[in-house]
Amino acid sequence: MKFAAPLRPRSMAAAALAVATALLSVAGAEWASVTQDFPFGAFEVRTQPFGVAVVARQSGVAIRVQACHETAAREASPHETIPVCAPGTWPGRAEPGAWTEAWAAFDAVLGRPRVSWVAARDRPISIVVRPDAIALRFEKRVTGLGPGIAHYAHAFALEDAHVVHDGRGIAYTRLDDAALLARLGLEADTDPDPWRGLPEDAAYLALLDTRSGAALYLLGQPGSRLRVDRRRNIVLRQERLSTPQGSPLEVAVRLHAALPAGLAP
């Protein structure tokens, strides 16, 4: 069949038009999927449907997650990734804005729904931890930590957590689902502000199962043994501190990962 002829002559104008339209078209591509693979400096920005995550390149630890606009957790379909988001309830200081939103659960994005939070005194920073990002090790058997810890160890992939203390019950929960709580053999956490009384400049690592809403956090004493996972470039230091109730110390992990200027609390 006769078909519309190409533009003639092959002028510069035609070439410019072709290049311009190609550029225009490619501008609509899903570039967000690529930025996660192009680190700048030690950190990279992963633009995800739920917001923006700033991720330590070598460790895989996200140190900043901006707001997620979905309130209902839902799983992605096999062929289409939809962000899994759950409203954070942690630890009751959420402010609108970049740093203090407590959002969680990015199974479709960064790995298992295991989320850690580094909390400054009043500015908790959400930390998304991929299961392979932090290597901790429980030296004691998890059974020595009570059934709650045993369950959590496995819910949070804390099987490698390095615990050097006596391992008394340190599980705190923030669980709305009472049935699940009972199923896991856990006690409800009634402390409305578990961070109260902690040093202002401290950053503490806690772990939160956002799918169930349950949380575990570990507190410790300065000068405790260090465990440094240099392989993943994560510097974790245990610190001995007071628990919110002033009881003897549990294990704490302080995150000393170098935060870039402007991102540190």
Partner 1 sequence: MIAALAAAALFYLLPLAAGASLLGRGGRRPALPDAWIAGTLALAAWLAAVNVAAGLFGWQAGTRLALLQAGAAALALPALLALARGGRGGLAVTDVPLTAAGLAAAAAAVAVWRADSPYPALLNWDMFEHLALSEQMLRGHVHLSLRSYSDTFTLDTYLPFYHALLSFPRALLAPDPAGFAWSLDTLHTFVAVGVTGWTARRVLGSRSAAAWAMVVAAFSFESHVAYTSLFHMPQTLTAVFFTAALGSIAGGATGTPALLRWAAFLVASHFFVGVLAGPLVIGFGLLARLEPARARRLAIAASAVAAGALAAALVARHAGGLVLDPFGTAESAHFTLGPADVWRLMRRAHGFASLLLLPLGALLLWRGPAPGPALAAATGVALAAALSPLPYVMKFATLFHFLGAMVMAAGLRLLASGAGIVGITAWLAAWLAIFGTGQKASFKREPHHGVHTLSSADERAAAAFLRERFPPETALLVGEPATQHILEGLSGVNTQGGTFASGRTRDLVDRLWPADAATAADAALQVRDRLAREAPSRVLIAVGGRFFAWQAAEPRHRRASHFNVWRPRDMAPADWEALAQWRASDRLRLLFRNDGVALFEVLPPTAEAPSATISSTRSPR
The residue within the footprint of partner 1, chosen from 211, 227, 232, 254 (CB under 8 A), is: 211
Q: What is the DSSP string of the chain?
A: ---PPPPSS--HHHHHHHHHHHHHHHHTS-THHHHTT--BTTEEEEEETTEEEEEETTT--EEEE------S--PPBTTB-----EE---SS---SSSSS--EE--HHHHSSSEEEEEE-SS-EEEEE--TTT----BSS-GGGGHHHHHHHHHHTTGGG--B-S----------S-HHHHHHHT-PPP--S-TTTTS-TT--EEEEEETTTTEEEE-B--TTSPEEEEGGGTEEEE------TT-PSP--B-EE-PPPPTTT--
Nearer residue to partner 1 within complex by CB, 74 or 168: 74
Residue 208: C-alpha distances to residues 35, 90, 211, 225 (Å): 27, 9, 9, 24
Q: Is 104 in the site for partner 1 (CB under 8 A)?
A: no
Nearer residue to partner 1 within complex by CB, 114 or 254: 114
Q: Is 180 in the site for partner 1 (CB under 8 A)?
A: yes
Nearer residue to partner 1 within complex by CB, 55 or 259: 55
User: x-or-dash pattern for partner 1, window 110-149, by CB under 8 A?
Assistant: xxxx----------------------------x-------
Nearer residue to partner 1 within complex by CB, 156 or 195: 156
Q: Is 108 in the site for partner 1 (CB under 8 A)?
A: yes
Q: Is 25 in the site for partner 1 (CB under 8 A)?
A: yes
- Strand 204-209 to strand 214-217: parallel, antiparallel, or no bridges (unpaired)? antiparallel
Q: Is 154 in the site for partner 1 (CB under 8 A)?
A: yes
The residue within the footprint of partner 1, chosen from 134, 155, 198, 207 (CB under 8 A), is: 155
To partner 1, the closest distance from the beta carbon of 188 in angstroms equals 18
Q: Is 226 in the site for partner 1 (CB under 8 A)?
A: no
- Strand 103-104 to strand 114-119: parallel, antiparallel, or no bridges (unpaired)? unpaired
The residue within the footprint of partner 1, chosen from 116, 136, 151, 174 (CB under 8 A), is: 151
User: x-or-dash pattern for partner 1, window 159-178, by CB under 8 A?
Assistant: xx----------------x-
Nearer residue to partner 1 within complex by CB, 210 or 224: 210
User: x-or-dash pattern for partner 1, window 39-78, by CB under 8 A?
Assistant: ----------------------------------xxxxxx
Would you give the end-to-end CA distance of the chain in angstroms? 68
User: Where along the sequence are the contacts to partner 1 (CB under 8 A)?
Assistant: 1-4, 6-8, 10, 14-15, 17-19, 21-34, 73-81, 108-113, 142, 150-151, 153-155, 157-160, 177, 179-180, 183-184, 209, 211-212
